[in-house]
Each structure stands twice: as C-alpha cells, then as structure tokens.
Amino acid sequence: MSEALEKAREWEKMHCRTAVEKPFFHVCAPTGWINDPNGFSQYKGEYHLFYQYHPYNKHWGPMHWGHSKTDDFIKWLQMPCAMAPDEAFDGQGCFSGSAVEFQGKHVLMYTGVTQKEKDGKIVINQNQCIAFGDGKDYIKYPYNPVITAQQMPQGSSKEDFRDPKIWKDNDKFYTIIGSRGEDGSGQLGLFESEDIVNWKFVTILERCENRYGKMWECPDFFEIGDTAVIIVSPQEMQAEGLEFHNGGGTLALVGNYNKKEHLFQRKKVTAVDYGLDFYAPQTLKSEDGRRIMIGWMQNWDTYLVPENMTWSGIMTIPRQLEIRDGSLYQNPVRELENYYSNEVKIGKVRLEGERSFEGINGRSIDLTVEIYEDGKSEFSIRFASNEYFYSEIIYSPEKEILTFDRTYSGLVKDVISRRSMKVKKREGRIKVRLLLDRYTVEIFVNDGEQAMSSLIYTSLDAEKIMFYGDGSVISILKYDVVL
C-alpha cells in the first residue's frame, strides 16, 4: 500500500462522519468530498460503488476513489479508500471510471491524470488505467496506461479524454470514453480488448457536434431488450424550454445498436433527470437482470453544503430502468419496500384550501399522491416544513407543469432554487411520488416517466407535510422508511 493510500485510510478512520449526520438510505461522503459514482458493479455476489473522493476537506481536490458496498442497494457498508493518486501515470488524480469482474479479480478502469511543464505552460494529459483487486484492496497495473489519447482520431483532445465505461460482451471487453473531437465538442470513443490490458480503437460511437453542450462526461452504454441507451453528462449546456437546463445536465440518447458494425442509431434525446442536483449517473446489470442506475446528487455550479457540515456529496437512490413505448423510465429499486413501516392510506379527498393528515409527516418517507381531478388553481405539497421553512412541489393542471421550489428551505445564499418540467396526464390524472431522506428530495412522476432530484439542507426538525388545493381531488399512500 502506498503512503498516500495509507494516509487516506487513516484519515477516514479518524474523521468519518457520524450516523447522526448522514441520510438513512443514501450513500454519502464518509468524510470530505465525493462526486461522480464510479465502478458501480457486481463482484462475487455483492454490489460495489466507488466514487470520486477528496477525503481531506469538503471541496473538490486531488481525486481518490472512495468505496462502499451493499447486497440490496439500500443498506451500504463503508469500505476503506480504494485508490489514491500515487503513481507517475495518475499523480494528478484518479478520475472517474467503471469496473468489471475478470478471472476472479475485480478490475477497476479509470482515468489517470498527469501534468508537466512545457515551454512555460502546464500540459495536462488524461489516459485510461486499470487496477486489479479483491473487493477491498486494489493493485494498479504496472504498465499503465492501457489506453492513451494518441489512439483516438487525429484532432482529438489529449486533455479531455476521460471516464471509461467498461463492459463484456461474449468474449470481448469494450469501453466507451468521453473525449473532445476536432470541432471542440463531445465525442465517444469505442475501444475493444480480448485480455483487458491490450486495447484497440474501434470507432467514434456518437458525436455531439456542438448540439448538446460541449464535452460529454461520464458516458454509459447499455441495452434494455432491443433498445440501446447512451447516457452522457454534457458540460456547458444551454437551456431549451423545460427539457434541458443551463450548465451540467444529463442526457439519454435512445436508439438501436448494430453490434456487428458498431453503429448506434439515435432516435430520441431526452433529459434523464429534471431536478436541481443530478449528474454523472452510472448503471449496472443486477443479478436478476435489472438495469440499475445511481447518480451524483449535486450540481457543479451550486454549492449548498452548510458551514457546520464536515462532508459534501450524496448519491441518489439506486433506480430500476425500463423502456416503455421507446422512452426511459426510472423508479427506486424495489428493495426499498423491505424497509417500509407505518403505512398510511388516505382515500379520495377534495381539497379546499390547506390540509394536513394524521401520520403523514417526516424526513425519511416514501409518499405517493394521485391527483384525479383538476382544481380551480394550482395544487401543491409543502414538506420539510415548520413555522420558518419549507420546500414545495407545485402542479399547474392548466399548464401541465410540475415545479420543485426550495426557496424557503433555509438557504442563506442566492442559488438556483426552482426548476420545472412538463408532465402529461394519464387517464385524466397524474401520480407524484416523493422520496425523502433527510437532505434528499427525489420526485418520480407517472410511475417513473420523469424524475426530479434535488437537495435541501433544512433543519431536520422540520417534518410537517401540508397539502394545498382549490377543488383538487387526491389520494395518498405514505410509508416511513426505517433501517
């Protein structure tokens, strides 16, 4: 073990946050800072999640790989730091990547960052490296990097070449890697290997062509049935209506894939999540065949973490992905139901003004509200509420727009607090599912047709939930989530 990795592990032992501070069923930083999920994979019957990690303070710094594992996607065990930037090929950072099992080993594939001075300027290079491990300890391949930017087509960036997603198909391994092309915008390079250490360039699988942001980070590629999906996180997006917002977003490119020709045919491009805090998701295939996705629940441009907190960074609930009518649907993994308690059901009731219901409150709950009839004006749910603070979901039946607003959640900085999305009625109604876990707010509309993820750092004693409507007819189903 290197001195840098040993130092990180010792720091974790001394500074790991207490259970009182953390969410109940969401992965969060053990100490310091975390961002992108990495290496989300199955190995020897357990599911592993790594993440970009700076253990020494709650801001981005030299990137390590933090590590957690689970057997049900809900209860997570904190593992020791897996990698530190401690080699000549990754001395400026072990950036994002993925993982796969091979010959009994857990193989991590990641971006190693190096820099040197040339002609008075700092030159940064990003190349792909691997490490072999046993689920706890990992040894970096001595002949790293295994893929270099020089293998990409002429004109491709040497600095922006990162975030490999690896998978196995029949007897070959494949990886897609985010890059910038000659036009300065995002492209995805596809590589293949028979032995996981020797790789050759295959093709450019997809290109941005300056249509959706610039650099495409953290790509993922998978198939659900006959449908192929590429997920990317573009930088420098510009807003388009309510579908795409400014800054760093996440897109799903849905289409078909010809494996023989390595040709992806794009049919649809949509946002993956419409919330204020969602980026860089990664997926795995579960033991029972489900495609499971987890994302980083934060926004690069909006930093909300209170001064008194010693850590920064939370992941979303793992979500089951499905394709329905050519669109990507997502819902919390069904294992969450094993932790339900205190069911409360409210049959159809007409709202006339403000209303609360006995047993419907809390900050660790799964709450579903169905809106059957349009009222005369907007319908809203206020939650994480007390006499001073609240966050709010607002539904406009006339405009068919759903909005999340955390303006009054206790923020003391002028940050983005409100975001909206267009929703569709299904058989004259909409269904809104609200999943709360202390600081996290995840909204799923119409059985997963759309999702909206955001953070709130409201005082944890704010637990009230209020419903507002002028003629709206609703029903409610609520569970506490207890671990």
CB atoms closer than 10 angstroms to residue 112: 27
Distance CA 248, CA 216 (A): 10
Domain ranges across the chain: 3-332, 339-481
For the CA atoms of 181, 219, 271, 371, the dihedral, rounded to the nearest 10 degrees, stands at: 180
Q: Whole-angstrom Cα distance, residue 447 to residue 170?
A: 34
Quickly state the pLDDT bin for 376 (edges 50, 70, 90): low
Strand 263-271 with 251-258, pairing: antiparallel
Pairing of strands 311-312, 32-43: parallel
Phi, psi dihedral angles at 345 (to 5 degrees): -115, 135
User: Has residue 394 got a pLDDT over 70?
Assistant: yes
Q: Per-residue pLDDT tens for 443-480? A: 999 999 999 999 999 999 999 999 999 989 999 999 99
**36 carries an active-site annotation:** yes
pLDDT band at 240 (very low <50, low <70, confident <90, very high): very high
From the list 8, 48, 2, the residue with the least C-alpha distance to 31 is 8
3-state helix, strand, coil in the chain (%, to 5): 5, 55, 40
Least confident of 74-78, 144-148, 260-264, 373-377: 373-377
Q: Is 159 exposed, middle or buried (0-12, 13-18, 19+ CB in 10 A)?
A: middle
The pLDDT of residue 320 is 98
pTM, whole model, 2 decimals? 0.97
pLDDT band at 375 (very low <50, low <70, confident <90, very high): low
Banded model confidence at residue 385, pLDDT cuts 50, 70, 90: very high
Whole-angstrom distance, CA of residue 295 vs CA of residue 28? 12
pLDDT, mean over the chain: 95
pLDDT band at 120 (very low <50, low <70, confident <90, very high): confident
Check whether domain 339-481 has CATH 2.60.120.560, yes or no: yes
Tally of CB atoms within 10 A around 267: 11
- In this predicted model, what pLDDT tens digit does every residue of 149-200 receive, in sequence order? 999 999 999 999 999 999 999 999 999 999 999 999 999 999 999 999 999 9
Burial letters 323-349, b for 16+ CB under 10 A, else e: beeeebbbbbbebbeebeeeebebeee
- The alpha carbon of 162 is separated from its chain's Cα centroid by a whole number of angstroms, namely 17
pLDDT of residue 363: 97
Instruction: Write the DSSP symbol of residue 439.
Output: T
| Number of residues assigned to the chain | 483
Domain at 3-332: CATH code: 2.115.10.20
**pLDDT band for position 5 (50/70/90)?**
very high
pLDDT at 122 (0 to 100) = 86
DSSP 337: G
